[in-house]
Structure 1
Amino acid sequence: MSSTTSATLPAGSGAAAASSTDASATKKSTTLDAAGIANTFKTLQSSDKGLTSADAKQRLTKYGPNAIQAHEESRWKKLLGYFWSPIAWMIEAAAIISLLRQDWPDFIVVTALLLYNAAVGFWQDNKAASALAALKKGLALKAHVLRDGKWVEADAADLVPGDIVTVSGGEILPADLILFDGKYLSVDQAALTGESLPVSKKIGDSGYSGSIARQGSMTGVVTATGNNTFFGRTANLVASAGAKSHAEQAVTRIGDFLILLAILLAIILIGTQVGRDITGPGGWHWSEAGEIAQFVLVLLVASVPVALPAVMSVTMALGALALSRQKAIVSRLSAIEELAGVDVLCSDKTGTLTLNQLALQQPILFSGSTADELIVGAALATQSQSTDAIDQAVFKGLKDRKVLDQYKQVDFIPFDPVNKKTVGIVTGPDGKQIQFAKGAPQVIAALAGLQEGATEGDAKTYFGDVDDLARHGTRALGVARSDDEGKTWKLLGLLTLLDPPRPDAKTTIAQAKELGLSVKMVTGDDIAIGSEISQQLGLGTHLLVASDVFGKNVDPDHIPIDAARAVEQADGFGRVFPENKFEIVKALQERGHIVAMTGDGVNDAPALKQADCGVAVSGATDAARSAAALILTAPGLSTIVNAINESRAIFERITSYVYYRIAMTICIMFVVVLAYIVFDFQPLTAIMIVVLALLDDIPIMTIAYDNVEPSKKPVKWNMHRIVVFSSVMGLFALIQSFGLVVIAQYWIQDAGLQSWLHLDFPHLQTMLFLQLAAGGHLLLFVVRTRHSLFRPPYPSKPLFLAIVGTQIVAILICLFGVGLVPPLPWQFIGLVWIYVLVWMVVLDWIKLAYFKIADSREANSITKPIVAS
C-alpha cells in the first residue's frame, strides 16, 4: 500500500476506507452457514429464544463467572513465606535459643522483630493487590441478554455459553459470540487482533470478547466466557512471569554480602573466645556454648538488613499511593524502582500523544461550493446515531446541527468494504430528492468522473491536493452531490481531518527529555501521519516502517545488530503491528537500554510484559493491564513523566537507607569484634544489639516521606559504588565508635579522670550503646544527600521528628537503665552527644571528598547511564 493511499483512506464506517487489512481480517473470521449455526445451537443446548434464569444459574455454577480468573496465592501461604528465608531463619534460631535458655527479655525482643518484619511485608503485599482489585471492580460491563423470553440488562460477568445477546454501535462485545441475526455490524477488534480498521461482520461470523462495536446492530449466541474466550486465553498467556526485579536482586546481594561478612567475623569471634577459654585457668565448659551461640546469632540478626525489605515496601507503597492520586495504578511495587531507571520511552501516538479525536481542518473546495455546503453534504451522508470518530468530527464541524432538520432521509447506504463510501438519500427543503456521498478520495473522484493520473484540469488539482495531504499526514474525505438520482455527481471537495496533539503533549515530551529520556513514537498509522505529529511535538521526523526494520521471520531473541542500531537511532516507528512492539523492546534492551512501552490491546501484552516497565494506557484491555507494571487511568503522557519523577525520588530514599544500613552494619560488627579481640571486652550485650536494631530501623520507616532531590537522569543500582561508599562511611563510623572505646578505656585506667566522674565497663557498654544509637541516625542525615547536610533538601518533618523521638527514648533508656542497660550519668550522656555531633561534621566532609573523587573518576571514564548517588 502506498503512503498516499494509507494516509488518505480514513478508518471507520464513515470513511468507507477499508483496505487489505479488512480483507485479511474477514478471512480470519470463522463464517458459518445456516447448518453451522444450527449445529452451534445444538452443541450449546440453546436456541434463538435464549435461556431461562434457572438454566443460566446452573451454567454459571458450571462455567464460572464471565471474567478473567487469575490464580492467586492464598493469603496464609503468603504470610508463611515471610517466615521462610535465610534472614528469617537466623532470627528464628536466635528466638529458639533464647527460649531454651529462658532468657525472656531477649526472646520477646527477637520475636517482636520477626513478627514486625513479616507483618509489614504482608500488609504491603495486600495493599498493591487491593488497588488492582478496586480498579477491576470499576471496569464492570453490562450486556443486553435474552432471559426467560425477555430482553434484560445484566452484568457481563453473569453471561454463560448459550446466552443470546444483542450488540449495537458503541458497545463492547461481552463474550465470544457467533452472530446469527441482523444486517450489519462494524467491529473494532484492533485491541485483540491488531487490525487497524474496523471489520464488517455478517451472519455466521464470530465476534471476540473485548472488541468494540462501532456501527450497526446484530444478535449473537455466546460460545465462550471468561478464561475460555480468545481474550481470556491471551490474557493468561501474558500473566506476569514473576522474575525478580532489580530492587529484589539488589536486596539479595546486599544481604548475601553482609551475611558472609558477619559469618566471617562470627567465626573469628568464636575462635577467639574458645581459644581464650581453653588456654585460660578455668578451661573450656560446654555450659558457655549456649551463651556464645546466642550472642553470635543475635549479632548476625543485628548485622543483616532485616528491615531493608520492609523499608523498601513502605517507601514504594507510599509512592504507589502518591501515583494513584495522579491517575496511575502500580500493579507491582517493584515497578516503581524499574521506572526510575527507564531511559527510553516508547509511546503510542493515538490517545496518548494525540487526543484520539479527529477534528476537521481547513476544507479544500471544488465546483464553486462553500465550506458549509461541503460539511452539510458530508453530514447528510452520515447516520445520525453513528459513533464513528470521523462521523463525529463531521457533525462537530457543523455550525448549527439544526440545519439537518430541513432534510428528510429517504434511504441510507452504509459503508461497504468494496465500494468504500456511504450514501445518504434525502429530500431537500424544496421537496426534491438529493444524494450525498462521502468516502475515500479516489472513490468519490471516480463518481465525479475524475481520472487519477490526469495531467490537467480538476483531476490534476484534486489528486495533487490528495497527495499533498498525504505527505503531511492529513486524512482526506471526498464529498460529492447528485441531483438526478445518482446518474451524475458534482464534486463538492475534500474534508481534511487530523487527530491533533494533546495540548500538554509537547510540554510533557520536553520535560521527559530534561529527565534524560529518549521518547520514541510508536504508531500503526503511516509514516507521513506519524512524522507530521512527531514534528509538531518536537520528537524529530526520523520515523521508520517497523516491518522494514525487522524484515520477515525475524527471531525476537536474536535481533540483528544493524536492526537494533536502527531502532536505537530512530525517532519513532510507523505501520507498527503488535509483534513489532515486542521486537522494538527487545532491540532496545539488547542495546543496553531500560525501556518503558505503552499499549492498550491484548496483542500489546507481550511487549508490555517484555518491557522493563510496561504501561497500560487509559482504556486498555484487561489483558494489557495484567501484563503492565503501570496502569494509567487518565489519558496522556504527563502521568508517566510524573511517575518517573516520583519513582526517582523513591529510589533516592531507598538508596539513602541502603547506604546507612550497610555502613552501620559494618560499624557494629567490627566494633564488637575489635573490642573483644583487642581489649577482651564485650562492648555490647545481646539485648543491647537487638534493641539497637529496633531503635535504628523502626523510625527509619519515615524515610519514605523524606525530602529528596530526584536525579535529572535515569538511575539504576550500581552495587560497586553502593558497597564502596557504604564501606568508606562504615569504616569511619567504626573509627568513631572504636575511638570512644579507646578513650573510655584510658578514662577507666586514669585515676584523675575517675575521681572527676567514675566510669566502669558496664557504663562503657551503655555509652557505646548511646553512641551507636545517636551516631547511626546522624550518619543517616549525612548520607541522605550528596551535598553538605547543611544545604537543602533538609530532612522531612516526619523523619526528623521520628529520629528526635527515638533519641529521646535512647537517652531515657541510658539515663534510667530500664532493665536493659546500666544507668549512665547525665554528664556522660552529654559528652557522648558532643562527641557524635563533632563526628557528624567530620563524616560530612569525608562524604563530600569521596563524591568529588568518585565524580572526577567517572567523568574521565566512558560515559555510562547515571547511577543512584
Structure 2
Amino acid sequence: MSSSSVGEVSPSRPTEQVKTKNTDSDLNLDTLNSTEIQNKFSELKTSPKGLTSIEAQDRLAKDGPNAIQAHEESRWKKLLGYFWGPIPWMIEIAAVISFLRADWPDFFVIAGLLLYNAAIGFWQDNKAANALAALKKGLALKASVCRDGAWTSIAATDLVTGDVVTVAAGEIIPADLLLINGKYLSVDQAALTGESLPVSKKIGDGAYSGSIARQGSMIGLVTATGNNTFFGRTAKLVASAGSKSHAEQAVLRIGDFLIILAAALAVVLVGAQLWRDLAHNAIWHWSEAGAIAQFVLVLLVASVPVAMPAVMSVTMALGALALSRQKAIVSRLSAIEELAGVDVLCSDKTGTLTQNKLTLQAPIPFGTAKADDLVIAAALATQKESTDAIDLAVLKALPENNPFGTYKRVDFIPFDPVNKKTVGIVQDTAGHNLRYAKGAPQVIAKLCGLTEGVISSNDSTPTTEYFGKVSELASHGTRSLGVAVSHDDGKTWVLLGLLPMLDPPRPDAAATIAQAKKLGLSVKMVTGDDVAIGSEIAHQLGLGEHLLKASDIFSPDMNPNKIPVDAARAVEAADGFGRVFPEHKFEIVKALQERGHIVAMTGDGVNDAPALKQADCGVAVSGATDAARSAAALVLTAPGLSTIVNAIVEARAIFERITSYIYYRIAMTIDIMFLVVASYLVFGFQPLTAIMIVVLALLDDIPIMTIAYDNVVTSPQPVRWDMHRIISFSSIMGIASLAESFGMLLLGIAWMHTPWLMEIVPLTTAHLQTMIFLQLAAGGHLLLLVVRTRHTIFRPPYPSRPLFLAVVGTQIVAVVLCVFGILVPALPWIMIAVVWAYALVWMVIIDGIKIFTNLQMMKREKNSQKLSHPISDK
C-alpha cells in the first residue's frame, strides 16, 4: 500500500530533501557536546558538517567501498570446476580409454564434447552473473549524506567513516552509525542480534548496518563501513544464485532418473556382451573389454542432459531481460518461474490500482473553523519539501494569501504506520507554540476524544456529523483526512474538520484485472483505507466487493505462524481487506498458503517486508522503500499492476519451454538407450558406434538451447509441476520414437535381405548404422517440433525463427556428415532421401499419438478434478 493512503500518511524523508540544505539548520550543536560524541568526531577527524568531497574520496580510496567484500573464486578456478564431477568424470574416462586404444576419431570428438560442455557452462555462468549485476544496479541503496556543507544523495557504497548521514523510517541503515541528533529512531535489528522487538534509539546510541529503521528520523555519524561493520563481521552471506527454483529441482530429478535408467541398461548391455564372449566364444581379450567400457561410458554420456544448465539459465535470463524492458527488476531469476504457479494476487490499492494522484476536494470544516483555515492547518502539519501525494495535494491547495510563511517550524513528528498521523509544531508571530495534526480520520477523532458509535454528553454534534461525513465520503470512494489543532502542547486537541481527497483508479487497472482473471488469478485488494472506500474502488474495477476488515479476521493474540482454519477460510473467501495494518499482510499470506495457494503479494513499506519475504513471490511496487525492495523477488519501477500480469505470462511461457525440453530429452534418451540395447540383444547388432552417439549428443544439444526463444501457447490457468504427467507423456513419446527407430533398423535389415533392392543400392551394416544415425538426428528434431505444442504441429504457434533455423542448420550438418563420410560411413543420396521420407511420415504418426495422448490425459485430469470437488459440480 502506498504511503499516501489515508491509513498511511507519510511525509517526505530526509533523503528526499533538497540538496542545498545547510547542516547548521538541522544539527543542534548543543546536543553534540557529550564527551563520547566529541571524542568520536576527533577520532574520525570530522565535524558535524561532515566531510568535504576531497576528504571522502581519499578515505574511499584507502578503506574501499562500503560493501561486504565476499571472496570470489577466480575465473580459472571456476573454469576448472566444470571438469570436476560425475558427468565430466564419465566423459573424461571415455576420452582416456579412447586415447589408450589409439581410437583417435573417438578421442577427439569425446574431448570436444568435454570442452564444449565446459565452455557452455562457463559462458552461461558469467552471462547470468553479469545480467544479474546489471539488473541490480537499479536496486543500489542510497544514502543522504552531508558533503561540503550540503545534503546530497549518494550510493551507500560510497559512504566512508566520518560521513554525517540521515536515516528515516523505511530505510536500511547503510553503515554502522553513532546517532548524534534527532528526536528518536526505532530500529529493527532482529536479523543481527536476535531481538524480537524494535529497539528505541536516542542520541549517543549506535545503529548497526543492515538493520531497518522502523519509526522516526535521526542524524548519525558513520563509524564503520563494509567488512568492518557489525553486519560485515557477523552476517553469514549466502549467494542467491545457490538457490534452485522448482523448475531446476524438477529437471535435476529428471536428469538423475535418466542417468539411473542409462546405467541400468548399460549393465544389461555389458552382461549380454560378457555372456556371448564367455559362453559362446570362450575367448576374452582386453581390447574387447576396453571397447565395451568405452561404448558404455559414451552411452551414459549420451543420456546426460548436458544442455540442462544452459536451457535453464538462458530461458530465465531472457525472461528477466524482457521484464526489465517493462520496468520490472528481477532480484532472483527463480522468481520468474515461481510466478507461473501463482493463483492468488494480493494487491495494494493506492498507487497500484489507483493513480495515487490526489486532488483536494472542498474542505469540510467543523466548529468555527473556515475552509482556508483547515487547509492552512493541514499544511502546517506537512513538511514543505515533501513529495508525498497527500502532502502535495495539501500544499497545492493553499490559498494565495495565506500566513503559512509567518510560522516558524519548531519540530516535526513524521508519520509511522502505528500512529498514522503527522504533527507539526510551529511558533506563531506572537511566540506561541501550536501543534497541528493531520492523519487518518479515526486517529484524529481519537486524538480529539471522539469515538465512533459513542455520543459525548457534552457535544454530540461533532461526533455524529464527523463520522457520518467520513462514511458518506467513503461510500463514494473518496478518502478523507482529519485535521486538528492543540494550543496547549498536545494536552487537548480541537477538531478542525475533514479534507476530502479523490484518488481515481488507474486507466489500465480494470483491463489488467480482467486479464488477470482470464489467467486464472484471484485478485484480492489490500488497503489501509476503510472497507467502504475499498468496496467502491473494487466495484469500479470489476473486483469482488466482499471486503473484510482485517481486524475482524486476525485478533491481536493470534499466532501469525499458525492461522486458525476458520480465519484461513475467511481470507480465502474474501475479495479483499480493509483497514489493513502491516502485520496483517503477513497473516494474509500465511493464511492463503495454508489453504494451498501460491501467493504473490505487493508492498512498498518497510513493514511490508515480512509479507513480501513470506509470499511465494513478493513484489515491491514503484516507490517502495529499500527494505521492501530487498525483501521482494520482483521490483517494479513503474506504477500499476500490468507488469505483474506480464511477468506471470512470461513465467508461464518459460514453463512451457522448459517442459518441452524435458519431454524431448526423456523421449530421446529412451529412444537411443532402448534401441541400442534391444538391437544388440535381438540381432546382436550395434546400431550406433561410440562416435555416432557423441556426435548425436552434440547435434541434439546445439539447437535445443534456442528453445528459450520459442513461440509457445501459455496456459490459461496457473501451472505446477506434475511429474506423473511429465514422465507418462515423455515415456509414450519415447516409445513411439523407439518404434520409429526400430522400424528403420528392420527396414535396413529387410533391404539387405532383398536382392533386387540390393541391386539398386547395395547396403552394408556400416551403411545401416549411418541410416540409424541420420534417422535419430532428423527424427529427434522433428520430435522436438512435435512435443512443443499440445495440438497438431500444423497449427500455430509455429517454431520461432531461431529454433527453426537452428534445427535446419543442424540437419544440414548431419546430412553433410553422411554424404561425405565425416566421422560416419558415407551414405548415398537416395538412402538419405529414404531416411528423411521415413522420418517425415513418422512425424505425422507421432503427432497423432501425441494428440490422442493429450486428449486422454485431459479427460483423466477432468475426472480427477470432479472426484476431488464433487460439491462444486452439482
Which whole-Å CA distance do the structure 1 matches of 2:606 and 2:484 have between them? 39
Which whole-Å CA distance do the structure 2 matches of 1:348 and 1:190 have between them? 24
Matched, 1:42 2:39: yes
Superimposed CA distance per residue, residues 693-712 of structure 1 (whole angstroms, 9 cap, x where no aligned partner)? 11122012211111111111
Matched, 1:817 2:793: no
Which whole-Å CA distance do the structure 2 matches of 1:385 and 1:665 have between them? 66
Contact preservation (8 Å) 1:344, 1:519? yes
Matched, 1:674 2:678: yes
Matched, 1:853 2:850: no
Contact preservation (8 Å) 1:189, 1:208? no
Contact preservation (8 Å) 1:684, 1:765? yes
Q: Name the counterpart of 1:830.
A: 833
Q: Name the counterpart of 1:22.
A: none
Q: Name the counterpart of 2:196.
A: none
Contact preservation (8 Å) 2:534, 2:547? yes
Which whole-Å CA distance do the structure 1 matches of 2:445 and 2:571 have between them? 39
1:524-535 aligned within 5 A: 524=528, 527=531, 530-535=534-539
Superimposed CA distance per residue, residues 825-846 of structure 1 (whole angstroms, 9 cap, x where no aligned partner)? 1111111111111111111111
Contact preservation (8 Å) 2:378, 2:438? no
- TM-aligned CA deviation for residue 516 of structure 1: 0.9
Q: Secondary structure at the match of 1:521?
A: strand
Which whole-Å CA distance do the structure 2 matches of 1:742 and 1:224 have between them? 77
Q: Secondary structure at the match of 1:862?
A: helix
TM-score scaled by length of structure 2: 0.81
Q: 1:454 to 1:511 in 2, by over 3 A?
A: farther
- TM-aligned CA deviation for residue 562 of structure 1: 3.2
Q: Secondary structure at the match of 1:66?
A: coil
Which whole-Å CA distance do the structure 2 matches of 1:622 and 1:461 have between them? 41
Which whole-Å CA distance do the structure 1 matches of 2:153 and 2:39 have between them? 25
Question: 2:145 is matched by which residue type in structure 1?
Answer: H
- TM-aligned CA deviation for residue 385 of structure 1: 3.6
Q: 1:157 to 1:737 in 2, by over 3 A?
A: closer
Which whole-Å CA distance do the structure 2 matches of 1:386 and 1:611 have between them? 31
Contact preservation (8 Å) 1:353, 1:502? yes
Q: Name the counterpart of 2:755.
A: 751
Q: 1:453 to 1:222 in 2, by over 3 A?
A: farther
Q: 1:471 to 1:223 in 2, by over 3 A?
A: farther
Q: 1:48 to 1:561 in 2, by over 3 A?
A: same
- TM-aligned CA deviation for residue 290 of structure 1: 0.5
Question: 1:101 is matched by which residue type in structure 2?
Answer: R
Which whole-Å CA distance do the structure 2 matches of 1:216 and 1:269 have between them? 73
Where in structure 2 are there 5+ consecutive unaligned residues? 13-28, 192-198, 870-874
- TM-aligned CA deviation for residue 648 of structure 1: 0.8
Which whole-Å CA distance do the structure 2 matches of 1:463 and 1:330 have between them? 44
Question: 2:671 is matched by which residue type in structure 1?
Answer: C
Q: Name the counterpart of 1:806.
A: 810
Superimposed CA distance per residue, residues 647-672 of structure 1 (whole angstroms, 9 cap, x where no aligned partner)? 11111111112111111111111111
More moved, 543-552 vs 783-792: 543-552
Q: Name the counterpart of 1:11.
A: 9
Contact preservation (8 Å) 1:117, 1:310? no
Q: Name the counterpart of 1:698.
A: 702
Q: Name the counterpart of 1:292.
A: 292
Which whole-Å CA distance do the structure 2 matches of 1:235 and 1:584 have between them? 30
Contact preservation (8 Å) 1:366, 1:492? yes
Q: 1:406 to 1:345 in 2, by over 3 A?
A: closer
Q: Name the counterpart of 2:336.
A: 336
Q: 1:529 to 1:33 in 2, by over 3 A?
A: farther
1:157-556 aligned within 5 A: 157-165=157-165, 175=175, 177-181=177-181, 219-223=219-223, 225-226=225-226, 240=240, 242-281=242-281, 283-364=283-364, 375=375, 378-379=378-379, 384-397=384-397, 403-404=400-401, 409-412=406-409, 415=412, 422=424, 439=438, 460-469=464-473, 475-478=479-482, 493-524=497-528, 527=531, 530-544=534-548, 546=550, 549-551=553-555
Question: 2:844 is matched by which residue type in structure 1?
Answer: V
Superimposed CA distance per residue, residues 364-411 of structure 1 (whole angstroms, 9 cap, x where no aligned partner)? 35689986776467557756444454331112335xx7x247875254
Matched, 1:761 2:765: yes
Contact preservation (8 Å) 2:97, 2:290? yes
Superimposed CA distance per residue, residues 288-313 of structure 1 (whole angstroms, 9 cap, x where no aligned partner)? 10110001111111123222222222
Contact preservation (8 Å) 1:659, 1:726? yes
1:117-156 aligned within 5 A: 117-138=117-138, 139=140, 141=142, 143-145=144-146, 156=156
Question: 1:801 is matched by which residue type in structure 2?
Answer: L
Which whole-Å CA distance do the structure 1 matches of 2:652 and 2:450 have between them? 62
Q: 1:595 aligns with which of 596, 599, 602?
A: 599
Q: Secondary structure at the match of 1:495?
A: strand
Question: 1:861 is matched by which residue type in structure 2?
Answer: S
Which whole-Å CA distance do the structure 1 matches of 2:845 and 2:571 have between them? 49
Which whole-Å CA distance do the structure 2 matches of 1:851 and 1:410 have between them? 75
Matched, 1:564 2:568: yes
Q: 1:172 to 1:343 in 2, by over 3 A?
A: closer
- TM-aligned CA deviation for residue 87 of structure 1: 2.8
Superimposed CA distance per residue, residues 176-206 of structure 1 (whole angstroms, 9 cap, x where no aligned partner)? 545545xx7798989999xxxxx99986677
Contact preservation (8 Å) 1:7, 1:526? no
Superimposed CA distance per residue, residues 693-748 of structure 1 (whole angstroms, 9 cap, x where no aligned partner)? 11122012211111111111111221111111111111111111111111211111
Question: 2:758 is matched by which residue type in structure 1?
Answer: Q
More moved, 739-748 vs 566-575: 566-575
The alignment of Structure 1 onto Structure 2 pairs a total of residues equal to 827
Q: Name the counterpart of 1:28.
A: none
Contact preservation (8 Å) 1:240, 1:626? no
Question: 1:340 is matched by which residue type in structure 2?
Answer: A
- TM-aligned CA deviation for residue 592 of structure 1: 2.2
Superimposed CA distance per residue, residues 425-482 of structure 1 (whole angstroms, 9 cap, x where no aligned partner)? 889xxx9x99996646686999999995667656643443245446777543456899
Contact preservation (8 Å) 2:437, 2:483? yes
- TM-aligned CA deviation for residue 782 of structure 1: 1.2
Question: 2:727 is matched by which residue type in structure 1?
Answer: V
Q: 1:346 to 1:69 in 2, by over 3 A?
A: farther
Question: 1:325 is matched by which residue type in structure 2?
Answer: R
Question: 1:11 is matched by which residue type in structure 2?
Answer: V
Which whole-Å CA distance do the structure 2 matches of 1:774 and 1:831 have between them? 12
Question: 1:221 is matched by which residue type in structure 2?
Answer: L
Which whole-Å CA distance do the structure 2 matches of 1:238 and 1:863 have between them? 44
Q: Secondary structure at the match of 2:506?
A: coil
Which whole-Å CA distance do the structure 1 matches of 2:450 and 2:848 have between them? 84
Q: 1:644 to 1:860 in 2, by over 3 A?
A: same
Q: Name the counterpart of 1:29.
A: none
Which whole-Å CA distance do the structure 2 matches of 1:59 and 1:500 have between them? 50
TM-score scaled by length of structure 1: 0.82
Q: Secondary structure at the match of 2:865?
A: coil
Contact preservation (8 Å) 1:502, 1:636? yes
Where in structure 1 are there 5+ consecutive unaligned residues? 1-5, 15-31, 194-198
Q: Secondary structure at the match of 2:720?
A: coil
- TM-aligned CA deviation for residue 33 of structure 1: 11
1:596-615 aligned within 5 A: 596-601=600-605, 604-615=608-619
Question: 2:640 is matched by which residue type in structure 1?
Answer: G
More moved, 413-422 vs 279-288: 413-422
Q: 1:143 to 1:105 in 2, by over 3 A?
A: same
Contact preservation (8 Å) 1:210, 1:621? no
Which whole-Å CA distance do the structure 2 matches of 1:422 and 1:312 have between them? 55
CA RMSD of aligned residues (A): 4.8
- TM-aligned CA deviation for residue 514 of structure 1: 1.1
